[in-house]
């Protein structure tokens, strides 16, 4: 049971690094979400990592509580508005 927490943490960390690097390359090659030469995709990479690691945790623990579902929904909404803010620089 105790081994699951470091596994979830390290998987989430590595997924975050993977998504940020891949999205940075994609953003620079397609000129998307770039402000003053800096790609604005770190939040998207972290958000995708959070979503994937939450689904991974769902697989390990065989279900989610109402609190975790609320956390997922609110995090997804924040990610959505963060992308909109980065896109149109609100």
Tens of pLDDT, residue by residue over 53-85, are 888 888 777 777 788 888 888 988 998 998 888
Tokens of 10: 């390290």
pTM > 0.85:
no
pLDDT interval class at 17 (50, 70, 90) = very high
The average pLDDT across 14-43 equals 85
- Asked if pLDDT for residue 33 goes beyond 90, the answer is no
């Amino acid at each position: 049971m105790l081994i699951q927490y470091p596994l979830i943490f390290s998987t989430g960390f590595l997924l975050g690094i993977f998504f940020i690097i891949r999205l940075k390359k994609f953003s620079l090659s397609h000129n998307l979400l770039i402000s003053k030469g800096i790609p604005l995709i770190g939040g998207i990479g972290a958000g995708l990592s959070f979503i994937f690691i939450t689904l991974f945790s769902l697989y390990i623990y065989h279900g989610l509580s109402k609190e975790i579902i609320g956390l997922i929904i609110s995090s997804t909404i924040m990610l959505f508005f963060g992308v909109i803010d980065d896109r149109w620089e609100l």
